[in-house]
Amino acid sequence: YTSAAKAALIVATNPVFTACAVILFMGEVWNWRIGLGVALSLGGVIIVITQGNLALLLNQPLGLGELYMFGALASWVAYTLIAKK
Mean pLDDT of the chain: 86
CA distances in angstroms from 84 to 13, 18, 21, 26, 33, listed in the order given: 19, 11, 12, 9, 22
Closest CA to 71 of 23, 14, 4: 14
Judge whether 70 and 10 are in contact, CB under 8 Å.
yes
In the chain, the amino acid numbered 4 is A
**pLDDT score recorded for residue 59:** 74
pLDDT class for 83, splitting at 50, 70, 90? very high
At 32-58, the pLDDT tens digits run 998 898 899 888 877 877 777 777 777
pTM: 0.77
CB count within 10 Å of CB 65 equals 14
